[in-house]
Amino acid sequence: MFKHSVALSWMALCSFGALLGACSSGPAHTRAEGLLSSLSGATHYVSPAGLDSNPGTLSNPFKTIQKCATVSSAGDSCLIQAGTYRETVTPNSGVSFAPYNGESVTLDGSDPVTGWTPYSGSIYQASVSLPVSGSSDTGFLANQIFAGGVMLPEAQWPNPSGDLMRPNWASMGPGTTQSLIRDSNIPPINWAGAVLHLWSGRNPFGHQTAHVLSSGSGQVTTDFNNPGVCPDLCAQEGGRYYLVGKLEALDAPGEWFYDGANGRLYLWPSSGNVPANITAKRRNYAFDLTGKSNVTIRN
């Protein structure tokens, strides 16, 4: 049972497993309905093959969980058939939700990206409007792109390591100051507008980000200017960093870049073929229970 907002985590997914069988015996759908029958309210059904104009019966189910949540009042229940539902559900208080017949139900925080066309070399492009453009914060903090449910790295320099938890870091060279990063290895492209991720200083756990204002041969200038965090967390010789947010940095399979100003997503698919089964994060929550009470989300 969840009584608070359920956030879609790293993979932006919230799944209901078929776990009723671990609790009791008998047919799964009988157990599910029996567990919910104590609420003595109406039972509605949801299926990807349904229609929201249906009455919500087993033979004529709703299509979305939200439709069931909207028509249900305290004591009612929604039994959800197998499938992937791309929505955030805001229920009324006192409503219960469970998989029908012990089936596998997934609430997915991402939407498919289609319409891919060649851009340059192995890079493809698609028109899409994502929640975050540049460094704007719409509550998502960052965009996420997935291939077959696996999160892909944003185009960066140095290139990604292949392990999202252990990125490749570049090293700040001599002459680095709080806002000026010097490194002779920096590729000679215009980094203005990029974002610098910084791990530098005495704090072994703290990271910072800064916007790149300009760049030159072997250096970038950022807007980072916070003397209060030095020397614990600021740029200095020997510090670590990487750069993201430039199309020119998209130079390896599996990377992506989003141009928010033009609504274009660029991707170098690892397969070398036209991108397929690509999704982009669009929602933060599977269920939003803000201000609600006695909502049951079972199995």
Tens-place pLDDT, residues 213-272: 999 999 999 998 777 778 888 888 999 999 999 999 999 999 999 999 999 999 999 988
Nearest to 267 by CA among 146, 99, 131: 146
pLDDT of residue 221: 96
The dihedrals phi and psi of 229, each to the nearest 5 degrees, come to -100, -5
pLDDT digits (tens, 9 = 90+) for 84-129: 999 999 999 999 999 999 999 999 999 999 999 999 999 999 999 9
Token pair belonging to 59 = 């033979």
HSE toward the beta carbon, residue 288, CA cutoff 13 A: 10
Q: Is 187 helix (H, G, I), strand (E, B) or coil?
A: coil
Q: Are 216 and 175 in contact (CB under 8 A)?
A: no
Compute the average pLDDT of residues 48-75: 98
Give the integer Cα–Cα distance in Å for 224 and 235.
Answer: 9
Q: Does the pLDDT of residue 66 top 80, yes or no?
A: yes
- The residue-averaged pLDDT of 134-157 equals 85
Q: What is the mean pLDDT of residues 40-69?
A: 97
Token look-up 């690509």 returns: 278
Tokens of 160: 């990604």
Q: What integer is the mean pLDDT of 198-205?
A: 82
What's the confidence (pLDDT) of residue 231?
Answer: 80
Tokens of 134: 């540049």
The set of long-range contacts for 98-101, using a CB threshold of 8 Å and a minimum separation of 24, is 98/16, 98/20, 98/32, 98/35, 98/36, 98/296, 98/297, 98/298, 98/299, 99/16, 99/18, 99/20, 99/32, 99/299, 100/29, 100/32, 100/45, 100/46, 101/27, 101/28, 101/29, 101/32
